[in-house]
Amino acid sequence: MLKRITIGLMLLSGLCIGAGRRPGAVFLYIWPGSRPTALGGAFSAIADDASAAYYNPAGLGFQRNIVVSGTHVNWLPELADDMYYEYLAVSAPFDKVGTFAFNGIYLTTGETVVQDASGAVIGTYTTFDLSMGLAYGRELTPAISVGGGLKMIYSFLAPEWVLERLGLGPGGSALTWAVDAGVLYRPFDKLNFGVVLQNLGPPIYFSSDSDPDPLPLLLRTGISYKPLSVLSQDTTQEQFEIVGVRLTGDITKTLVGMFSIDPPEVDSMTFGQELAYEVEESWRSLGMEVSVYREILTLRVGYFFDKTGARGGFFVEDAGGSTDHIGLFPFLFGSDEGKLKKVGITYGAGVKYAGFQLDFGIDELIYDFPTVNRKFSLTYTF
């Protein structure tokens, strides 16, 4: 679809005005993979497939098979019907060395139309973001694996001729790099803990006339537990899982701008109060998946809450018509917050057969505006 008001130019102007106060390359926030999406993004303590290269490279260290996985989604289709997101990951273990993985992300906001003052079309261009990286994970002990990754990040917002018409200096595209690092700890059978630092690297410059924008530096901490795993009783062959239930949760904190609180009362806050405020602003993810008979069918549901970004959680409306997003505990144990409109639930399912796995994940309920992201992933395990 040809867009009269272009997403690319809006992003560019937003980055040139007040640059440096918010991160650039925000496409790195988008969850790749249908399975993690259906679990509300809670995957740092699971990381048992090729998407571990994104969620926690330490998970690669426990993998024993070559895995290829791809994801496609028409991203926020109600905003632009030609905006889409692609993800590809390949992981391969090497005996006594560790597991290496490649992963790539591509996001385009589609074709942009440029018009002059009279409304005449004078050209078009396509904006896109790209990230390509290599990751590595190694099992140190049967309980601990560590991993890291290096990636190249490129964003193309506008060509030079568009910037010239806007009176801006050279730019419109940016290139930088970042590293990730993670640990996955399995102290007991069926219990995992994960910690990941993502997108640590130099800032990104979009224009010679703008200040640099920091990368979206993230700290993820997660836990995963399998309270139920019913195995086959046939001792003549290798046991397999008949029914399995997994619970998982993540807390994700954007480290950009920490301890730069805006409210006037910040001057009277102690360090402990500021820290509590920052923790409260973290993203919260919960997920559950139930699988049957060798994971032939798996059903998933998740919950996501981002207070600062007003996404997910419990969306309520008070008597005056004002709306707000609140968390799980304030909703359950706080005072009457108003009428519940919807809950930030994600959901999906997967089918598996002979090495192939097809998954879908939907996260439409975490947004205030009407849209639906239907993510489809195809994975093959050799």
Q: Which two tokens stand for residue 33?
A: 């993979």
| Helix residue spans in the chain (DSSP H) | 7-16, 34-38, 52-55, 160-165, 271-280, 328-333
User: According to the model, what pLDDT value does residue 5 have?
Assistant: 34
CATH of 7-381, one of 1.10.3720.10, 3.30.70.3000, 3.30.70.2190, 2.40.160.40: 2.40.160.40
Cα 115 versus chain centre, distance: 34
Q: Which two tokens stand for residue 209?
A: 């006339």
Q: Which residues of the chain have pLDDT under 50?
A: 1-20, 264
| Helix residue spans in 56-210 (DSSP H) | 160-165
What 3-state DSSP class applies to 127?
Answer: strand
Q: What values do phi and psi take at 371, rounded to 5?
A: -165, 165
User: According to the model, what pLDDT value does residue 13 have?
Assistant: 38
Helices vs. strands in the chain: H and E counts, helices first: 6, 18
Q: What secondary structure letter does DSSP report for 328?
A: H
CA distance 50 to 380: 10
Q: Half-sphere exposure (CA, 13 Å, Cβ side) for 194?
A: 35
Q: Half-sphere exposure (CA, 13 Å, Cβ side) for 60?
A: 37
C-beta of residue 217 within 8 angstroms of C-beta of residue 257: no
C-beta of residue 57 within 8 angstroms of C-beta of residue 136: yes
Q: To 5 degrees, how large is the angle CA 362–CA 365–CA 366? A: 100
Positive or negative torsion for Cα 319, 322, 323, 328: negative
User: According to the model, what pLDDT value does residue 324 have?
Assistant: 82
CA distance 57 to 340: 38
User: According to the model, what pLDDT value does residue 6 have?
Assistant: 42
User: According to the model, what pLDDT value does residue 276 have?
Assistant: 74
User: According to the model, what pLDDT value does residue 21 have?
Assistant: 52
Write out pLDDT tens, residues 195-207. 999 999 999 887 6
Buried/exposed code over 230-264 (b: 16+ C-beta within 10 A; e: otherwise): eeeeeeeeeeebeebebbbbbbbbbbbbeeebeee
Buried/exposed code over 92-101 (b: 16+ C-beta within 10 A; e: otherwise): bbeeeebbbb
Sorted by where each begins, the domain ranges of the chain are 7-381
Q: Which residues partner with 360 through β-bridges?
A: 349, 376
Q: Which two tokens stand for residue 258?
A: 């920490």
What 3-state DSSP class applies to 56?
Answer: coil
Q: Which two tokens stand for residue 240?
A: 């397999």
